[in-house]
Copies of this chain bind each other. A is one copy, B any other.
Amino acid sequence: MTAAERREEEKAAFGAYVDGCPTHQLMGIIGNKWSMLVLTDLAQGARRYAEVSRALPGVSAKMLTQTLRSLERDGLVARSVTPSVPVQVEYTLTLLGERIVPLLDSIKEWAGRHIEEIHAARERYDGTPAGV
């Protein structure tokens, strides 16, 4: 095997390792722009679709539906349908969804505590005066 072939093989193996890595997969779920906002909203209690939509006024219906469906598929959100007239659809966190909330809180807490240091570092790096 040539060195180039060996590098290609290592690269493919590492790519598969990263794709199979639980952390990487989890970041794919909670790193999504709207997932964390939806989970945070549902952490307050059960919500109808229109209520989630009102809590996230920047989200298109398509994106919100996709996000909710994806979180439901991941077992973090449960969708329950009450056969009333009109039909009522409600979203709640599953037990697994509730278990992720403390982790999301830790992320939020870290971000709230340190994002200013990151901004300051960026300003230093970019050589712009602070506050610009």
Q: Which A residues contact B (CB, under 8 angstroms)? A: 7, 10-15, 17-18, 22-27, 29-31, 33, 36-37, 56-58, 72-76, 96, 99-100, 103, 106-108, 110-112, 114-115, 117-118, 120-122, 124-126
Bound together, the chains give a CA A115 to CA B99 distance in angstroms of: 12
Whether the pair B106, A57 counts as a contact (CB closer than 8 A) is: no
Whether the pair A118, B96 counts as a contact (CB closer than 8 A) is: yes
Inter-chain contacts of A37 with B (CB < 8 A): 18
Whether the pair A106, B106 counts as a contact (CB closer than 8 A) is: yes
Bound together, the chains give a CA A89 to CA B13 distance in angstroms of: 28
How many copies of this chain are found per oligomer? Answer: 2
Inter-chain contacts of A118 with B (CB < 8 A): 25-26, 29, 74-76, 96
CB < 8 Å: which of B18, B36, B126 contacts A23?
B36
Bound together, the chains give a CA A101 to CA B37 distance in angstroms of: 24
Whether the pair B29, A31 counts as a contact (CB closer than 8 A) is: no
Whether the pair A23, B125 counts as a contact (CB closer than 8 A) is: no
